[in-house]
């Protein structure tokens, strides 16, 4: 698994998604409930950025149609989305937020 620096921890505001691109993959970073989560930034229902949505109770809500995704699993818990979005491993080293978007073989 290869981790890449996504941003500084100090750049993440609580419950405010931040969109980054790592190795060509759009990722939404969220700092909430004392943790940092990385979730694929594109809603599985409509091709829009999840980073433009709101965060509540360890979920991110798509701003367009209201689908909610669990930041821990990527699973939707509100329609119209029915397919999960990928989540990515996160490590914190000092002020660096490191994310792995590579798939293991």
Q: Dump strand ranges (E) for 1-105.
A: 4-8, 18-22, 25-32, 35-40, 54-56, 59-61, 68-70, 87-88, 90-93, 96-99
Q: pLDDT class for 105, splitting at 50, 70, 90?
A: very low
Rounded to two decimals, what is the model's pTM?
0.93
Reported as a single tens digit per residue, the pLDDT across 15-36 is: 999 999 999 999 999 999 999 9
Separation between Cα atoms, residue 58 and residue 17, nearest integer Å:
12
Reported as a single tens digit per residue, the pLDDT across 93-103 is: 999 999 999 86
């Amino acid at each position: 698994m290869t981790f890449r620096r996504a941003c500084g921890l100090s750049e993440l505001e609580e419950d405010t998604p931040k969109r980054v691109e790592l190795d060509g993959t759009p990722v939404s970073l969220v700092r909430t409930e004392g943790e940092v989560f990385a979730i694929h930034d594109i809603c599985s229902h409509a091709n829009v950025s999840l980073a433009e949505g709101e965060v509540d109770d360890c979920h991110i809500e798509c701003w367009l149609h209201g689908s909610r995704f669990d930041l821990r699993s990527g699973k939707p818990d509100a329609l119209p989305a029915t397919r999960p979005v990928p989540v990515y491993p996160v490590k914190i080293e000092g002020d660096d937020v490191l994310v792995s978007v590579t798939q293991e073989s």
